[in-house]
Amino acid sequence: MDKLVSSRLNHESLPGDYIFPPETRPGGLKIPCSNISVIDLREAENGDRINTIQKMIKASEEFGFFQVINHGISENVMNEARSVFKELFEMPAEEKQKLCSDDPSKTCKMLTSSVNYATEKVHMWRDIFRHPCHPLEQWQHLWPENPTRYRECAGTFSVEVKKLASKILSLISEGLGLECGYFENDLTGSVLLSINYYPPCPEPSLALGVTKHSDPHIITILLQDHVSGLQVLKDGNWIAVEPIPNAFAINVGNQLQVISNGKLKSCEHRVVTNSHEARTSAGLFFAPTNECVVEPAKALTDEHHPPNFKPFKYKDFIPHFLSKHGDTDTVLKSFAAQKG
Protein backbone atom coordinates (compact mmCIF):
# COMPACT_ATOMS: atom_id res chain seq x y z
CA MET A 1 0.00 0.00 0.00
CA ASP A 2 1.81 3.11 -1.19
CA LYS A 3 -1.29 5.24 -1.01
CA LEU A 4 -0.50 7.08 2.23
CA VAL A 5 -1.17 10.79 1.76
CA SER A 6 1.68 11.56 4.18
CA SER A 7 4.11 9.81 1.80
CA ARG A 8 3.16 11.75 -1.32
CA LEU A 9 6.04 13.88 -2.46
CA ASN A 10 4.17 16.22 -4.70
CA HIS A 11 1.09 17.90 -3.33
CA GLU A 12 0.70 20.28 -6.25
CA SER A 13 -2.70 19.14 -7.43
CA LEU A 14 -5.47 17.14 -5.82
CA PRO A 15 -5.99 13.73 -7.46
CA GLY A 16 -9.52 13.23 -8.87
CA ASP A 17 -10.42 10.48 -6.40
CA TYR A 18 -10.11 13.00 -3.53
CA ILE A 19 -12.63 15.48 -4.96
CA PHE A 20 -15.99 15.38 -3.18
CA PRO A 21 -19.26 16.17 -4.97
CA PRO A 22 -20.35 19.82 -4.48
CA GLU A 23 -23.00 19.02 -1.82
CA THR A 24 -20.48 17.49 0.61
CA ARG A 25 -17.57 19.90 0.05
CA PRO A 26 -16.47 21.97 3.05
CA GLY A 27 -18.00 25.35 2.12
CA GLY A 28 -17.93 28.25 4.56
CA LEU A 29 -18.62 28.23 8.28
CA LYS A 30 -21.96 29.81 9.05
CA ILE A 31 -21.58 30.55 12.77
CA PRO A 32 -18.51 31.53 14.78
CA CYS A 33 -16.78 29.01 16.93
CA SER A 34 -17.54 30.05 20.46
CA ASN A 35 -20.48 27.81 21.31
CA ILE A 36 -18.79 24.59 22.37
CA SER A 37 -18.59 24.49 26.19
CA VAL A 38 -15.22 24.50 27.88
CA ILE A 39 -15.46 22.68 31.21
CA ASP A 40 -12.92 23.22 33.97
CA LEU A 41 -12.60 19.85 35.71
CA ARG A 42 -10.80 21.40 38.68
CA GLU A 43 -14.12 23.03 39.58
CA ALA A 44 -15.65 19.60 40.11
CA GLU A 45 -12.97 18.79 42.68
CA ASN A 46 -13.29 22.15 44.40
CA GLY A 47 -16.84 21.60 45.52
CA ASP A 48 -18.69 22.66 42.40
CA ARG A 49 -19.41 19.13 41.21
CA ILE A 50 -23.12 19.68 40.59
CA ASN A 51 -22.49 22.73 38.42
CA THR A 52 -19.82 20.89 36.41
CA ILE A 53 -22.14 17.93 35.91
CA GLN A 54 -24.95 20.19 34.72
CA LYS A 55 -22.68 21.90 32.17
CA MET A 56 -21.46 18.54 30.90
CA ILE A 57 -24.95 17.10 30.49
CA LYS A 58 -26.24 20.25 28.79
CA ALA A 59 -23.33 20.26 26.31
CA SER A 60 -23.83 16.54 25.66
CA GLU A 61 -27.53 17.07 24.97
CA GLU A 62 -27.09 20.08 22.72
CA PHE A 63 -23.84 19.51 20.86
CA GLY A 64 -22.65 16.03 21.85
CA PHE A 65 -19.29 17.79 22.27
CA PHE A 66 -17.44 19.72 24.96
CA GLN A 67 -13.83 20.48 25.81
CA VAL A 68 -12.15 19.94 29.18
CA ILE A 69 -9.33 21.90 30.78
CA ASN A 70 -7.53 21.37 34.12
CA HIS A 71 -8.17 17.67 33.63
CA GLY A 72 -5.14 16.44 35.54
CA ILE A 73 -3.00 15.21 32.62
CA SER A 74 0.32 17.01 32.61
CA GLU A 75 1.39 19.28 29.79
CA ASN A 76 4.51 17.19 29.46
CA VAL A 77 2.59 13.95 28.81
CA MET A 78 0.44 15.74 26.22
CA ASN A 79 3.38 17.38 24.46
CA GLU A 80 5.40 14.17 24.31
CA ALA A 81 2.42 12.29 22.87
CA ARG A 82 1.73 15.01 20.28
CA SER A 83 5.31 15.09 19.14
CA VAL A 84 5.80 11.33 18.90
CA PHE A 85 2.50 10.95 17.00
CA LYS A 86 3.60 13.59 14.49
CA GLU A 87 7.01 11.97 14.21
CA LEU A 88 5.37 8.64 13.37
CA PHE A 89 3.78 10.03 10.21
CA GLU A 90 6.85 12.03 9.27
CA MET A 91 9.06 8.91 9.15
CA PRO A 92 10.41 7.84 5.74
CA ALA A 93 7.84 6.14 3.48
CA GLU A 94 9.61 2.75 3.77
CA GLU A 95 9.36 2.83 7.54
CA LYS A 96 5.62 3.61 7.44
CA GLN A 97 5.12 0.95 4.79
CA LYS A 98 6.12 -1.68 7.36
CA LEU A 99 3.16 -0.61 9.52
CA CYS A 100 0.61 -0.84 6.69
CA SER A 101 -1.50 -3.91 6.13
CA ASP A 102 -4.66 -4.84 4.24
CA ASP A 103 -5.34 -7.68 6.67
CA PRO A 104 -8.63 -6.87 8.45
CA SER A 105 -7.70 -9.09 11.42
CA LYS A 106 -4.52 -7.09 12.15
CA THR A 107 -5.30 -4.81 15.10
CA CYS A 108 -2.26 -2.54 15.02
CA LYS A 109 -1.75 -0.89 11.65
CA MET A 110 -1.44 2.19 9.51
CA LEU A 111 -4.00 2.87 6.83
CA THR A 112 -5.15 5.75 4.70
CA SER A 113 -8.57 7.42 4.38
CA SER A 114 -10.74 4.73 6.04
CA VAL A 115 -11.24 0.98 6.42
CA ASN A 116 -13.54 1.26 3.39
CA TYR A 117 -10.71 2.45 1.09
CA ALA A 118 -11.31 -0.27 -1.49
CA THR A 119 -15.03 0.45 -1.88
CA GLU A 120 -15.44 4.18 -1.10
CA LYS A 121 -16.07 6.51 -4.06
CA VAL A 122 -13.93 9.38 -2.81
CA HIS A 123 -10.96 9.11 -0.43
CA MET A 124 -10.30 11.27 2.61
CA TRP A 125 -7.14 13.32 2.93
CA ARG A 126 -5.74 11.59 6.02
CA ASP A 127 -3.65 8.69 7.21
CA ILE A 128 -4.50 6.78 10.38
CA PHE A 129 -2.53 4.68 12.78
CA ARG A 130 -4.61 2.71 15.26
CA HIS A 131 -4.29 -0.02 17.82
CA PRO A 132 -5.84 -1.26 21.05
CA CYS A 133 -4.20 -0.05 24.27
CA HIS A 134 -5.94 -1.66 27.23
CA PRO A 135 -4.75 -3.56 29.15
CA LEU A 136 -1.35 -2.11 28.29
CA GLU A 137 0.63 -5.34 28.94
CA GLN A 138 -1.43 -7.14 26.33
CA TRP A 139 -0.77 -4.71 23.50
CA GLN A 140 2.25 -2.50 24.07
CA HIS A 141 4.80 -5.03 22.73
CA LEU A 142 2.92 -5.06 19.40
CA TRP A 143 3.33 -1.31 18.90
CA PRO A 144 6.01 0.09 16.58
CA GLU A 145 9.67 0.21 17.64
CA ASN A 146 10.10 3.41 15.65
CA PRO A 147 9.91 6.22 16.60
CA THR A 148 11.91 4.84 19.53
CA ARG A 149 9.86 6.76 22.13
CA TYR A 150 6.54 5.59 20.68
CA ARG A 151 5.77 2.72 23.08
CA GLU A 152 6.64 4.69 26.17
CA CYS A 153 4.87 7.94 25.21
CA ALA A 154 1.74 6.30 23.77
CA GLY A 155 1.62 3.98 26.81
CA THR A 156 1.76 6.77 29.39
CA PHE A 157 -0.66 8.85 27.37
CA SER A 158 -3.26 6.09 27.02
CA VAL A 159 -3.12 5.16 30.72
CA GLU A 160 -3.61 8.81 31.72
CA VAL A 161 -6.44 9.36 29.25
CA LYS A 162 -8.17 6.21 30.51
CA LYS A 163 -8.22 7.73 34.02
CA LEU A 164 -9.68 10.90 32.55
CA ALA A 165 -12.38 8.89 30.78
CA SER A 166 -13.38 7.33 34.12
CA LYS A 167 -13.59 10.78 35.70
CA ILE A 168 -15.77 12.14 32.88
CA LEU A 169 -18.00 9.07 32.72
CA SER A 170 -18.52 9.16 36.46
CA LEU A 171 -19.71 12.79 36.20
CA ILE A 172 -21.98 11.86 33.28
CA SER A 173 -23.45 8.83 35.04
CA GLU A 174 -24.16 10.93 38.12
CA GLY A 175 -25.78 13.56 35.88
CA LEU A 176 -27.99 10.95 34.24
CA GLY A 177 -28.97 9.47 37.59
CA LEU A 178 -27.21 6.14 37.07
CA GLU A 179 -25.52 4.14 39.78
CA CYS A 180 -21.91 4.92 40.66
CA GLY A 181 -19.47 2.96 38.44
CA TYR A 182 -22.09 2.35 35.77
CA PHE A 183 -19.51 2.45 32.95
CA GLU A 184 -16.64 0.75 34.85
CA ASN A 185 -17.10 -2.67 33.26
CA ASP A 186 -17.41 -4.23 29.80
CA LEU A 187 -19.14 -1.08 28.57
CA THR A 188 -15.70 0.55 28.39
CA GLY A 189 -13.62 -2.64 28.20
CA SER A 190 -12.18 -1.88 24.78
CA VAL A 191 -9.87 1.10 24.32
CA LEU A 192 -8.53 2.01 20.89
CA LEU A 193 -5.98 4.72 20.13
CA SER A 194 -6.59 6.22 16.70
CA ILE A 195 -4.07 8.79 15.49
CA ASN A 196 -4.91 10.92 12.46
CA TYR A 197 -2.49 12.82 10.26
CA TYR A 198 -3.80 15.37 7.75
CA PRO A 199 -1.00 16.68 5.51
CA PRO A 200 -1.39 20.09 3.87
CA CYS A 201 -3.92 19.65 1.09
CA PRO A 202 -3.56 21.33 -2.31
CA GLU A 203 -7.32 22.03 -2.63
CA PRO A 204 -8.96 22.24 0.81
CA SER A 205 -12.25 23.48 -0.66
CA LEU A 206 -12.72 20.26 -2.65
CA ALA A 207 -11.43 17.68 -0.17
CA LEU A 208 -12.21 16.44 3.35
CA GLY A 209 -9.97 15.05 6.09
CA VAL A 210 -12.89 13.01 7.45
CA THR A 211 -16.42 12.99 6.04
CA LYS A 212 -19.52 13.57 8.19
CA HIS A 213 -19.91 10.77 10.74
CA SER A 214 -20.65 10.08 14.38
CA ASP A 215 -18.48 7.84 16.54
CA PRO A 216 -19.87 4.36 17.27
CA HIS A 217 -18.34 4.05 20.78
CA ILE A 218 -19.29 5.25 24.27
CA ILE A 219 -17.08 8.36 24.26
CA THR A 220 -14.11 9.73 22.37
CA ILE A 221 -11.38 11.78 24.04
CA LEU A 222 -9.48 13.72 21.40
CA LEU A 223 -6.13 15.45 21.62
CA GLN A 224 -5.79 18.12 18.95
CA ASP A 225 -2.65 20.03 18.05
CA HIS A 226 -2.80 23.80 17.41
CA VAL A 227 -4.26 23.45 13.90
CA SER A 228 -8.04 23.82 13.35
CA GLY A 229 -10.07 21.41 11.28
CA LEU A 230 -12.65 19.63 13.45
CA GLN A 231 -16.27 20.75 13.01
CA VAL A 232 -19.55 19.58 14.54
CA LEU A 233 -22.96 19.74 12.84
CA LYS A 234 -25.55 21.63 14.86
CA ASP A 235 -28.96 22.54 13.44
CA GLY A 236 -27.63 22.34 9.89
CA ASN A 237 -24.55 24.50 10.55
CA TRP A 238 -20.95 23.40 10.87
CA ILE A 239 -19.34 24.76 14.05
CA ALA A 240 -15.58 24.65 14.59
CA VAL A 241 -14.25 22.87 17.68
CA GLU A 242 -11.28 25.21 17.93
CA PRO A 243 -8.13 23.83 19.55
CA ILE A 244 -7.50 25.26 23.03
CA PRO A 245 -4.00 24.78 24.48
CA ASN A 246 -3.86 21.68 26.71
CA ALA A 247 -7.55 20.88 26.37
CA PHE A 248 -9.16 17.65 25.25
CA ALA A 249 -12.27 17.58 23.07
CA ILE A 250 -14.82 15.03 24.26
CA ASN A 251 -17.67 13.66 22.21
CA VAL A 252 -20.63 11.41 22.89
CA GLY A 253 -20.68 8.18 20.87
CA ASN A 254 -23.66 6.18 19.60
CA GLN A 255 -23.60 3.79 22.60
CA LEU A 256 -23.91 6.61 25.12
CA GLN A 257 -26.85 7.95 23.15
CA VAL A 258 -28.49 4.51 23.44
CA ILE A 259 -27.71 4.08 27.16
CA SER A 260 -29.08 7.55 27.94
CA ASN A 261 -32.21 6.54 25.99
CA GLY A 262 -31.60 9.33 23.49
CA LYS A 263 -30.99 12.15 25.99
CA LEU A 264 -27.33 12.62 25.06
CA LYS A 265 -26.56 13.02 21.36
CA SER A 266 -23.79 11.46 19.31
CA CYS A 267 -23.50 14.44 16.98
CA GLU A 268 -22.08 14.27 13.52
CA HIS A 269 -18.72 15.82 12.89
CA ARG A 270 -16.08 16.06 10.15
CA VAL A 271 -12.58 17.35 9.54
CA VAL A 272 -11.63 19.95 6.93
CA THR A 273 -8.10 20.36 5.62
CA ASN A 274 -5.89 23.37 4.98
CA SER A 275 -3.16 24.08 2.44
CA HIS A 276 -0.35 25.27 4.68
CA GLU A 277 0.07 23.12 7.77
CA ALA A 278 -0.19 19.43 8.66
CA ARG A 279 -2.61 18.58 11.48
CA THR A 280 -2.23 15.68 13.91
CA SER A 281 -4.98 14.49 16.25
CA ALA A 282 -5.27 11.48 18.52
CA GLY A 283 -8.56 9.99 19.65
CA LEU A 284 -8.96 7.46 22.42
CA PHE A 285 -12.15 5.50 21.69
CA PHE A 286 -13.79 3.90 24.74
CA ALA A 287 -16.04 1.13 23.55
CA PRO A 288 -17.93 -1.90 24.86
CA THR A 289 -16.36 -5.33 24.44
CA ASN A 290 -17.77 -7.41 21.57
CA GLU A 291 -20.12 -9.56 23.64
CA CYS A 292 -21.33 -6.68 25.82
CA VAL A 293 -25.07 -6.04 25.56
CA VAL A 294 -25.98 -2.37 25.13
CA GLU A 295 -29.43 -1.01 25.93
CA PRO A 296 -31.07 2.03 27.50
CA ALA A 297 -30.23 2.12 31.24
CA LYS A 298 -33.00 0.53 33.31
CA ALA A 299 -32.93 3.51 35.71
CA LEU A 300 -34.00 5.79 32.85
CA THR A 301 -36.93 3.81 31.55
CA ASP A 302 -40.31 2.87 32.97
CA GLU A 303 -43.89 2.57 31.82
CA HIS A 304 -44.03 6.29 31.03
CA HIS A 305 -40.57 6.44 29.48
CA PRO A 306 -40.29 3.34 27.33
CA PRO A 307 -36.88 2.40 25.96
CA ASN A 308 -36.22 3.95 22.55
CA PHE A 309 -33.74 1.23 21.59
CA LYS A 310 -33.80 -2.54 21.79
CA PRO A 311 -30.89 -4.43 23.43
CA PHE A 312 -28.09 -5.54 21.08
CA LYS A 313 -24.60 -6.94 21.29
CA TYR A 314 -21.91 -4.39 20.45
CA LYS A 315 -20.39 -6.79 17.91
CA ASP A 316 -23.67 -6.69 15.96
CA PHE A 317 -23.64 -2.90 15.90
CA ILE A 318 -20.26 -2.35 14.29
CA PRO A 319 -20.78 -4.11 10.91
CA HIS A 320 -24.03 -2.23 10.59
CA PHE A 321 -22.32 1.07 11.41
CA LEU A 322 -19.59 0.45 8.84
CA SER A 323 -22.02 -0.48 6.09
CA LYS A 324 -23.91 2.79 6.57
CA HIS A 325 -20.73 4.89 6.47
CA GLY A 326 -21.61 6.46 9.80
CA ASP A 327 -25.03 7.81 8.76
CA THR A 328 -26.19 8.18 12.36
CA ASP A 329 -29.96 8.36 11.93
CA THR A 330 -30.10 5.32 9.69
CA VAL A 331 -27.80 3.30 11.95
CA LEU A 332 -29.66 4.11 15.16
CA LYS A 333 -33.07 3.57 13.55
CA SER A 334 -32.17 -0.05 12.91
CA PHE A 335 -31.80 -0.54 16.67
CA ALA A 336 -34.97 1.38 17.61
CA ALA A 337 -37.44 -0.36 19.89
CA GLN A 338 -40.77 -1.43 18.36
CA LYS A 339 -43.42 1.01 19.57
CA GLY A 340 -47.07 0.44 20.35
User: Per rule CB under 6 A, is residue 196 in the interface with ligand OGA?
Assistant: yes
- 161 is in the binding site of which of Ni ion, ligand OGA, none (Cβ under 5 to 8 A by kind)? none
Residues of this chain, 203-232, that bind ligand OGA according to CB under 6 A: 210, 215, 222, 229-230
Sign of the dihedral defined by the CA atoms of residues 101, 132, 283, 336, in that order: positive
Among 127, 160, 174, 215, binds Ni ion (CB under 5 A): 215
Residue 136 is inside which H or E element, if any? helix 136-139
Supply the minimum distance, in Å, between the C-beta of residue 338 and ligand OGA. Answer: 31
Supply the minimum distance, in Å, between the C-beta of residue 210 and ligand OGA. Answer: 5
Which residues 6+ apart lie within 8 Å of 92 measured at CB? Answer: none
- 271 is in the binding site of which of ligand OGA, Ni ion, none (Cβ under 5 to 8 A by kind)? ligand OGA
Query: CB-side exposure of 152: number of CA atoms within 13 Å?
Result: 7
Which residues 6+ apart lie within 8 Å of 203 measured at CB? Answer: 13, 14, 19, 275
Among 194, 228, 289, 334, binds ligand OGA (CB under 6 A): 194
Q: Which stretch binds Ni ion (CB under 5 A): 57-65, 67-75, 211-219, 258-266?
A: 211-219
> With respect to Ni ion, which residue has the nearer C-beta, 215 or 242?
215
Residues of this chain, 254-293, that bind ligand OGA according to CB under 6 A: 269, 271, 281, 283
For the chain, list the strands marked E by DSSP.
38-40, 65-69, 109-112, 127-132, 190-198, 210-213, 219-224, 230-234, 237-240, 248-252, 269-271, 279-287, 293-294, 312-313
> With respect to ligand OGA, which residue has the nearer C-beta, 281 or 328?
281
- For residues 3 and 17, give the distance between their C-alpha atoms in angstroms, rounded to a whole number: 12
Considering CB under 5 A, how many residues would be counted as binding Ni ion?
A: 1
Q: Is 317 left (phi over 0), alpha (psi -120 to 50) or beta?
A: alpha
* Strands 269-271 and 210-213, bridge-based pairing: antiparallel
> With respect to Ni ion, which residue has the nearer C-beta, 87 or 120?
120
- 207 is in the binding site of which of ligand OGA, Ni ion, none (Cβ under 5 to 8 A by kind)? none
- For residues 301 and 311, give the distance between their C-alpha atoms in angstroms, rounded to a whole number: 13
> With respect to ligand OGA, which residue has the nearer C-beta, 53 or 208?
208
3-state class (DSSP) for residue 147: coil
Residues that bind ligand OGA in the complex, under the rule CB under 6 A: 194, 196, 210, 215, 222, 229-230, 269, 271, 281, 283
- Residues of this chain that bind Ni ion (CB under 5 A): 215
